[in-house]
Amino acid sequence: MAVSFSELFRFLWAFVKRQKCTFFFIYLLDSLAWPLEALALPWILGRAVDVFIRFETDRMSAFQLFLPIIYLGVGTYLFIEIASRTMGFLIGKAIPKLQANIRMEMFDHVERHSPRYFNERFAGSLANKISDMTTLTEQVAQYLFWPILPTFVVFIAGCIVLWTIQPLFAYFLGAWIVINLSLITLFSRKIDVYAAHHEEVKSTLSGKIVDSLTNNFAVNLFYRFSYERKAIEPYQEQEEKTNRKTRWVTERMNCYFSLYFLLGNFLLMNGSLIYFWLHDQISTAHAVQVFNSLWNITTAMWMTGGILPAFFSAFGSLKQAYSVMKDPQDIGDTPNAKELTVSSGEIVFKNVSFRYTDTDLFTDKHVHIRGGEKVGIVGFTGAGKSTFVNLILRFFPLHKGSISIDNQDITHVTLESLRNNIALIPQDPVLFHRSLRENIAYGKLNATEEEVFHAAKLSHCDEFIHNIPGGYHAKVGERGTKLSGGEKQRIAIARAMIKNAPILILDEATSSLDSMTESYIQDGLAKLMHNKTTIVIAHRLSTLSLMDRILVFDHGRIVEEGSHAELLNKKGLYERMWKMQVSGFLPEYL
């Protein structure tokens, strides 16, 4: 998604304003230090030369006049040094805070997207853009503070100083800089475009690398190291190509700029200076001052010209990194959203329609789950079971209809209050690379040690946790890779138990548990379900025998409903699925 300069500027300016006093003093010191060095010191040098010439035969008298010039020169140098060092400390304070604020703003924006958003993107690419945004912001800020902004101050002040000596020098300098900036602008537009393209390609490459590293177990299992390298090589070749193109355009610009610098500075401006001096139209002192001033100004422009390609390249990359902030959040709180209050936990689907891309899954679906009712959901893969519970959690927006909990449309309640009142135990739980205690307490952030231990015991986590070095403080690895599937699932159950929400959803919550562990944990699950509205998705139909009601899904439609015994007596799809079970499991497809 294209990003304009004004959009990016407004975004960055919002953070700069938070430290406006600090940045003002940085700019003030920046605008004083370099102009003094570029223009005041040459003026002092010119005065010194003037004294030397006028008092060539009476040097002791010259020394008395020379002392104030020495004091002025030393004082100016000290001021420049103090201003530069102070500016350095202020930048050291302001930039880290600026980066931290930007990083957290971007993280918060990206984090609040729906699961669908992350399903369609590489997490590594998103993280790379957040990282690039902070790094490139520092680069752009540093380039602005030195040398871009002070160079323009030096240029304006220099033209004024030269005008007082000889207006023609000011004309020459102004024309030289205008042509110079025109050339820079012409090339910088190309650099901006190429840099933005390179940044996008680099982010995609980073996402591919992270995806491969995240799935390193599968790579090792199938010994696909060469395959993974070949899969990534085309993206690396594209990154190298766009990187090279950006750098070549930059170097072409530097070649033109070097030639122009040589012609403009040495032949035109210094040539005219020598002409005026030879024809006695300018004093030697002024000649020394003008020579040094022109040298400093054009050197500053030379440095700025060398920096501007990198500046525009960083700015182009910055725009690409900022593009993630333009991705609209498909799920969020509506204006004036209210807190959800759950009393009984009644859930009602009314005329609900939902589709994936162009495929309709639910059409005018009506479902009524009474408060405190325990409802089982069965069906083959793709029947819509997980989508059904994801819609209750508002992971996806509805295309039509409404879902209400205790007569409150969930579209008009805050997401935080909705999800605080629902506990989900997923089929494939993912854990944070944090301690076991932190992962369990994620369901209730202010949980006491006693509550964590109690939930762990009910879910039969406590017994394996004590066998792990470090116990509850042991880290579980990225995505919980240090634990088995059954252990991760028990942690997810403990997390739901400690949350103790009035609505409970179990999506194949015991599928990774062996039969013995499942039998141990059933008592804890029974206590967890007590007085809660419970929805249980299961392939193991025997686990649904005690449900109040079972809904049979088929291609998004509820084709049968009733208790376990009633559905068996109907001799319909449920009864056929029951007979098809092998060791209590339902095949994925009919």
Asked if CATH classification 3.40.50.300 holds for the domain at 431-500, the reply, yes or no, is yes
Query: Which amino acid, 310?
Result: A
SS (H, E, C) 101-116: HHHHHHHHHHHCCCHH
Helix (H) or strand (E) holding 298: helix 284-322
- The reply to whether 336-421+502-590 and 431-500 are identical in fold is yes
Under the banding of pLDDT at 50, 70 and 90, the label for residue 1 is low
- DSSP letters, 405-471, are ETTEEGGGB-HHHHHHTEEEE-SS----SSBHHHHHHTTSTT--HHHHHHHHHHTT-HHHHTTSTTG
Per domain, the residue ranges of the chain are 5-326, 336-421+502-590, 431-500
| CATH superfamily of domain region 5-326 | ABC transporter type 1, transmembrane domain (1.20.1560.10)
Q: What is the pLDDT of residue 484?
A: 86
Percentage of residues in the chain with pLDDT exceeding 90?
A: 39
Comparison of pLDDT for 193 and 8, the residue scoring more: 8
CATH top-level class for 336-421+502-590? alpha beta
Q: How far apart are the first and last CA of the chain?
A: 43
Q: What is the pLDDT of residue 540?
A: 76
Whole-prediction pTM: 0.78
Q: What is the pLDDT of residue 504?
A: 96
Under the banding of pLDDT at 50, 70 and 90, the label for residue 583 is very low
Q: What is the pLDDT of residue 215?
A: 80
- The pLDDT of 325-341, averaged and rounded, is 90
How do strand 533-537 and strand 503-507 relate by DSSP bridges? parallel
Q: What is the DSSP letter of 334?
A: P
CA angle 37, 43, 44 (to 5 degrees): 85
* pLDDT for residue 298 is more than 60: yes
* pLDDT for residue 358 is more than 80: no
Percentage of residues in the chain with pLDDT exceeding 70?
A: 97
Question: Using one digit for the tens of pLDDT, what is the confidence trace for 107-145?
Answer: 999 998 888 888 888 887 888 889 889 999 999 898 888
Question: Using one digit for the tens of pLDDT, what is the confidence trace for 157-190?
Answer: 988 998 999 898 888 888 888 887 777 777 777 7
Question: Using one digit for the tens of pLDDT, what is the confidence trace for 253-286?
Answer: 778 777 777 776 666 667 788 888 888 888 889 8
Q: What is the pLDDT of residue 268?
A: 61
Look at residues 425, 415, 445, 434 and name the one whose alpha carbon lies nearest to residue 496: 425
